[in-house]
Amino acid sequence: MFSCDTMLVSSACSRYGKNILAKNSDRPSGEPQPLCFYEGREYPDGATVKTTHITIPQVRKTYSVVGSRPYWIWGFEMGYNEKGLVIGNEAEGSRMDPETEDGILGMDLLRLALERSATAKEAIEVITSLLKKYGQKANASALTQRTYENTFLIVDKDECWILETAGREWAAKQVKTMQGISNCYSIGTDADMLSENAERIAREKRWLSPCEPFDFAKAYSGRIIRQPLGVQRFRRLNKLLSQKEMHDFESLSDILRDHFEGELIEPRFGATAGTFLSICMHMREWGESETSASLLARYDETIGIIARYAPVQPCLSAYIPVYMVGKLPKKMQTADRAFSESSLWWQVKLLSLLVTVNEEKFASEIREKLKQLETQFADKAEKAEKQATELILSGKREEANELLYSVTDECTEILYDFAKAEIARLSGIIKEMGGLYGRQKEAIEEYFEYADIDL
């Protein structure tokens, strides 16, 4: 079961006076998700691009992009480009008949939109045009056969949009305050744009009564379990968003770390023991979804994109400052199926797995240490961003970019070293106890076997 939680905050509700996108990317167990940079290029006539499953014509010019990419997939779960466009996606399940051909993955559509679009409306045009031509619902799992449709949250310098798709039909709505979405359709009778046949198909199939107004979510929501399960997180997101009139990275990261604390459905024995899927998702059994990466991003008129990336679950990680400066640290971009000593993602993932051996014993101490690291990162970022702004305004863009990159690189190394040290410490404690134990023992053993991890 796939799941994600994504939020838009418009400039009217942003402490920065700029639009913000925030997302937890939830993917199947054992699926690393590094953050990667790809430089824009110019292509000759007749060039093609091979996406995850199909090859399509390439455009003449692409923009540079940064994206959080499941290791075996061409596209992104979330990302941004050099023009200040930011996009995140959600898995959906509609009532439309399945496609017979593979189509394009929603993650590939997302990356294609970032590479080919400068604005949110351009991104909507790119996605819907490709959707109409190729369809979607290709296999999106490295473990098994799983397909889905997609919702996209799209943010540029000036506008915030939700684009929801069902088969090759779609609806789009502009957001002028704030909105959270999960794995359930949210655009009802309030769509600002619709595909040409969206209402006609729903009426012909009698998915709405003849007398009621057209409601995209009501008409197209599938009967599969993903849709009703997404509603609880959809409501939780928007409840937490509504508790503040203005948001920033700190308040949104708090929401992305939520486990239904204070609610009747709060987990009994730690985050891995939840009855319901939470915003910050932890694997309960091998093969289930878990949060694999988290991203917050906004646009700055001088610097460009200012973002924060946390590998794995944000509650057991720290947000690292990242920017659009033409490169990212190698450790941040490195992660494949098997465990790698040189991968930031895998070091943080192994730490999170060891914490869940005995969450009640280990988690509070690790989270407090990570909170202190994140405060350091935020202080470093604030100073660097202020200095970079001054450099750019004085015509020293390359020097500013090097400064911003140095902060990303330094924070990556700090989090990497912290994870390695804590892995060694917790491993020693677990060995003294005779090896793996606890509620997650079997799931962790399967994870270790799959990823070639030797504790």
Active site residues: 4
Give long-range contacts, CB 8 A cutoff, 24+ apart: 270-277. Answer: 270/356, 270/359, 270/360, 270/363, 271/313, 271/315, 271/356, 271/359, 271/363, 272/356, 272/359, 272/439, 272/440, 273/439, 276/229, 276/232, 277/1, 277/3, 277/229, 277/232, 277/233
How many degrees, rounded to 5, is the angle at CA 331 between CA 409 and CA 421?
90
Helices (H), 162-247: 198-204, 216-220, 226-242
Distance, CA of 89 to CA of 422 (rounded, Å): 33
Q: What is residue 317's DSSP assignment?
A: S
Strand partners, 299: 305
Burial (CB count <10 Å: 0-12, 13-18, 19+), residue 94: buried
Q: How far is CA 229 from CA 218, 314, 345, in A?
A: 15, 21, 28
Distance, CA of 330 to CA of 333 (rounded, Å): 5
Helix (H/G/I), strand (E/B), else coil: 408: helix
Distance, CA of 412 to CA of 236 (rounded, Å): 31
